[in-house]
Amino acid sequence: MSQQYYRVGVFVDYTNFENCFTKAFGEERVEAEVWKNFNQNLIAFLKNKLLQNTNAQINITGTWIYNKNFGGNGLSNYLNFLDGLQLYIVKDLDKNEVPIEMTCQILTETHRAKMDFCILASNYGGFVPLVNRLQDNYSVKVIQLGFGPSTLQARCWAHIDLVKDLQFGNSNKA
């Protein structure tokens, strides 16, 4: 049996992520310990649970992080654990510009890198039209990465719950 190869783009709406994290845990910043094994756990979950193929090769074509104002402990800690990945940071955007920039970049990467999967770390329902186009027109499977149920989650091919599936934030719980 030949090895399967998947191209995956990761797109993080970090401001939305921080807001959801605060709602889930009652804390404003994400500790470094929380990020320690995040990428390895994410890839393992994708292989084992969603693809059910531990031999699949996952190539992360890039990780794009969108934040309305760069800085803060949580984002700095996250960046420290992304060594070796192709990383793009889009910063100093107005709150309303973040989803537009993310949408443009996701569509660009869909064509450039021929993505098989798009991991979208956001709970923002405004991404539903993008998800519809990616899945219906480009056969890109969108995986929503977030906290709990959302309108976006309902439309995506799969959902990875950061707390239940990746035990994200458990070190922050009292």
State mean pLDDT over 114-135: 94
User: Cβ–Cβ contacts within 10 Å for residue 61, how many?
Assistant: 19
Question: For the purposes of burial, counting CB atoms within 10 Å of the CB of 130, is it exposed (0-12), middle (13-18) or buried (19 or more)?
Answer: buried
Provide the pLDDT confidence category of residue 174 given band limits of 50, 70 and 90. very low
Domain residue limits, the chain: 5-172
Convert the pLDDT of each residue in 63-80 to its tens digit. 777 776 555 555 655 565
DSSP string covering 9-43? EEEEEHHHHHHHHHHHHS-SS--HHHHTTHHHHHH
Provide the pLDDT confidence category of residue 161 given band limits of 50, 70 and 90. confident
Yes or no: is domain 5-172 CATH 3.30.365.10?
no
Convert the pLDDT of each residue in 80-118 to its tens digit. 555 555 667 776 677 778 888 889 999 998 988 899 999
Strand partners, 64: 11, 88
Please give the model's pTM, rounded to 2 decimal places: 0.82
Would you state the pLDDT for residue 133?
96
The residue type found at 163 is V
Query: Rounded CA gap, 143 and 159, in Å?
Result: 5
